[in-house]
Amino acid sequence: DAKTTQPPSMDCAEGRAANLPCNHSTISGNEYVYWYRQIHSQGPQYIIHGLKNNETNEMASLIITEDRKSSTLILPHATLRDTAVYYCIVRDTGGYQKVTFGTGTKLQVIP
């Protein structure tokens, strides 16, 4: 069963912030939230992950709600190269765990 729920598609104007939501209402205390993206004809690429604090790296920011039941991936200034499918995943890092990707959100950045 999918552990996350994401909208199937979103549009964003080039240069604007893209905010991609994810619901993970059944997340457990030791599960992290991960984001990957998959550009057309490529393998998925790791973006960011977090447990309960907001995280930022050179690619994106991750905002996790206080109850940890949802999160938002923020691309601060979307470019055409950010057009991709974005996957929100929850997993435990206490050793090996099978990863379930779900169907993700198709983000289309519009010129």
> What does the binding site for other proteins look like in residue numbers (CB under 8 A)?
32, 34, 41-46, 49, 85, 87, 93-96, 98-104
With CA atoms as reference, report the closest residue to 57 among 26, 29, 87, 34.
34
Pairing of strands 84-92, 105-110: antiparallel
With CA atoms as reference, report the closest residue to 35 among 45, 25, 23.
45
Output the smallest distance, CB 54 to other proteins, in A. Answer: 17
Nearer to other proteins, 86 or 109 (CB): 86
Output the smallest distance, CB 23 to other proteins, in A. Answer: 16
Output the smallest distance, CB 13 to other proteins, in A. Answer: 25
Nearer to other proteins, 23 or 101 (CB): 101
Give CA 97 to chain center in angstroms.
18
